């Protein structure tokens, strides 16, 4: 719009200049015809006024040029349009473009969790857990075997430690005599079970029947129960939030709140 105004002003000035030239020519012709001092002074004054008026009305070439000059883009804008990275001194932090290969590598290489993180993830908001000893913590699988010996499964120690750190853990078993209790406590103590975590001897419970073990779990109101007896698992189905059934023949999830595994450490692997 400024260019159009400048052109209109220029055209007006040119018309005015031509008009003034004609007037000056007529005046000079009249002067030569009438050579008088008064006429000559009047003509000179008129000519000076015309010159000053023409210089004042003429638009500046510098202003026209600057008006027509296109605005220059800022350096940062020019570099962004050209695809260059802005420099850190201008307040921008250059970002490396994300490649498809990087995304695939991130999905294919998940972060490896520690055992403690896996235990917490598996148990969720568990605050109390009950766990059978035979076939889970001990190598023996029947109360009759405990009358002869009690052997701690060393592979379960690390998992047992993490569980006892995360929630209130109670161990329990059905035994046939007091000597069996002593063997079990001695095996746990010698294995270092009571040295770490929150597990103590008072949290190892014994009973003489499977019904007594079921009653222990219900009275403690555990969030999780672990057992190798499917009948006890079935009886507790309505009372315990989650259960883990330890079986040599893993059969998957047998109920919405019952999981199966061949061993305790395999479930938390």
Q: How far is CA 251 from CA 156, 194, 229, 254, 258, in A?
A: 21, 33, 14, 7, 11
The chain-wide mean pLDDT, for the chain, equals 76
Return the minimum-mean-pLDDT range out of 35-39, 145-149, 193-197, 212-216.
Answer: 35-39
What's 128-268's CATH class?
Answer: alpha beta
Q: How far is CA 211 from CA 1, 118, 237, in A?
A: 98, 32, 14
Give residue 15's pLDDT: 73
Work out the percent of the chain whose per-residue pLDDT is above 90: 47
Give residue 38's pLDDT: 52
- H or E element that contains 159: helix 157-166
Tokens of 215: 């009653």
For residues 113 and 97, what is the distance between their CA atoms, to the nearest angstrom?
Answer: 28
pTM value is 0.58
Is the pLDDT at 130 greater than 80? The verdict is yes
Beta strand pairing call for 258-261 and 242-246: parallel
Q: Which residues neighbour 40 within 8 Å (Cβ) at sequence distance 6 or greater?
A: 31
Return the minimum-mean-pLDDT range out of 17-21, 33-37, 194-198, 229-233.
Answer: 33-37
Average pLDDT for 1-10: 63
Q: CB of 169 within 8 A of CB of 204?
A: no
Instruction: Give domain limits for the chain.
Output: 128-268
């Amino acid at each position: 719009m400024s260019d159009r105004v400048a052109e209109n002003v220029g055209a007006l000035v040119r018309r005015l200049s031509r008009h003034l030239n004609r007037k000056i020519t007529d005046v000079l012709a009249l002067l030569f015809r009438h050579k008088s001092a008064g006429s000559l002074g009047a003509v000179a004054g008129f000519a000076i006024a015309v010159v000053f008026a023409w210089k004042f009305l003429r638009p500046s070439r510098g202003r026209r040029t600057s008006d027509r000059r296109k605005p220059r883009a800022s350096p940062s804008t020019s570099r962004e349009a050209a695809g260059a990275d802005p420099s850190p001194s201008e307040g921008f932090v250059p970002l490396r473009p994300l490649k498809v290969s990087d995304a695939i590598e991130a999905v294919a290489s998940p972060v490896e969790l520690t055992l403690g993180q896996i235990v917490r993830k598996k148990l969720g908001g568990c605050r109390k857990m009950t766990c059978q000893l035979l076939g889970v913590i001990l190598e023996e699988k029947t109360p009759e075997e405990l009358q002869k010996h009690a052997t701690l499964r060393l592979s379960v120690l690390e998992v047992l430690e993490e569980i006892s750190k995360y929630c209130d853990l109670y161990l329990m078993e059905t035994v046939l005599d007091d000597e069996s209790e002593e063997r079990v406590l001695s095996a746990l103590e010698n294995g270092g079970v009571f040295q770490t975590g929150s597990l103590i001897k008072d949290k190892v419970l014994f009973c003489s029947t499977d019904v007594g073990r079921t009653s222990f779990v219900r009275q403690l109101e555990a969030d999780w129960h672990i057992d190798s007896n499917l009948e006890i698992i079935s009886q507790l189905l309505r009372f315990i939030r989650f259960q883990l059934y330890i079986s040599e023949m893993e059969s998957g999830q047998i109920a919405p709140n019952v999981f199966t595994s061949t061993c305790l450490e395999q479930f938390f692997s």
